[in-house]
Chains A and B, each alone.
Chain A
Amino acid sequence: MTVGAQVRQTVAALKGSRATLRLYAEHSRHEETRSAYRQAFDIVSAVLSDLEKRLQEIEHEEPQYKGN
């Protein structure tokens, strides 16, 4: 597996986790729990934006692997 594909996989997994975090933030009845999930959601979003930027760079460098 190329680095690009690996990074893409991690990005997908993180996106799934982020979606679950949002769901939990909506479903929690406690304000404290809710804000913890929101905070986690925000940090994961920041990580994701960095990784997606890197993914674009990789695809630019190795265009033959694009979309694999």
Chain B
Amino acid sequence: MPAWLAVILRSAALFVVVFVLVRLLGKKHPAQMTPVHFVNYTVIAVIAGLLAAGVSQPIYGLLALAVWLLLPYLAEHLSLRSKAVHDVVSGKETILIKQGKIMEENLKSARMSAEELLKELRAKNVFSVADVEFAVLETSGEVSVLLKADKKPITPHDVEWQVAPQTEPQTVILSGNILHDQLTELGLTREWLETQLQQAGVTPDNVFLGQVNAAGELYLDLFDDALKSAMPTVRQSLYAMLEKAQADLYTFALETQNSQVRFMYEKNATRLQQVLDILRPHLLR
């Protein structure tokens, strides 16, 4: 066997082996890797490279590879079971700011300068240390920040707004192809989709992307951007229709001379107000 062919075969075989084994090590984004992971991956890469180039003896190389894959796997496995092992393997997070005060000792032990801390905070859109209640240096080297209660972004909960629960939208058309699995998951049929498309005045192959939201409305993005497809507004118009009916009832109440009838109209206008209050989070937001 010529040398070049051996290199190609070895590389291809190693590619498959390393590919499978790295997958076994778990899903970790490179940015979230702890230094230990980084070293581990690097060593695997170097060993695989040496093996592929035929620098090391195949047996020794494979043995080393096995050790560097098996040990991390074992460590991960144990660290899932025990907190102590976990702390040793992935390290412990360091508290940098507590109750709004910077912990200088911890900063020093993490070998982090004040500038670096400020830089990390800015990366989180925090430009004033005074806004920070609590900050932690994660084992991956990232800083997590908890803002002071009065500096946190307002949520619907804070302003006591009622919001409707939202499920994730499902993509039902991609590049002109109807995705049947997603449709059936929503309990919708191909016929329903075709009617919706007809109403919008487009054919499926003209649709780049179609999504159905939690309320069952279809949003379309067309290949031809010059064509205008209306955003679904059925929900808003339903709300408007109920509001109009309520206004009508108040008008009737004003117009009638019969006090009993007026009372009936006013009572029902109040009922419709109740309906509007119930539906507001679902129809308008």
Contact = CB atoms under 8 A, between A and B. Distances in A.
Contact of A17 (B164, B242, B268, B282): B242
Contact of B268 (A29, A30, A50): A50
Interface in B184-240: 186-187, 214-216, 234, 238
Contacts of B275: 40, 43-44
19 contacts: A9-B248, A10-B245, A16-B241, A20-B238, A27-B187, A27-B215, A27-B216, A29-B186, A29-B214, A30-B165, A30-B167, A32-B165, A33-B164, A36-B278, A37-B279, A40-B279, A43-B274, A43-B278, A50-B264
A39 to B, nearest CB: 6
Interface of B: 164-165, 167, 186-187, 214-216, 234, 238, 241-242, 244-245, 248-249, 252, 255-256, 261, 264-265, 267-268, 271-272, 274-275, 278-279, 282
B241 A13 contact: yes
Nearest to B165: A30
Given A6-B248, A40-B279, A44-B275, A17 B165 contact: no
A13 B244 contact: yes
Contacts of A29: 167, 186, 214
Interface of A: 3, 6-7, 9-10, 13-14, 16-17, 20-21, 24, 27-30, 32-33, 36-37, 39-40, 43-44, 46-47, 50-51, 54
Given A13-B244, A54-B261, A24 B268 contact: no
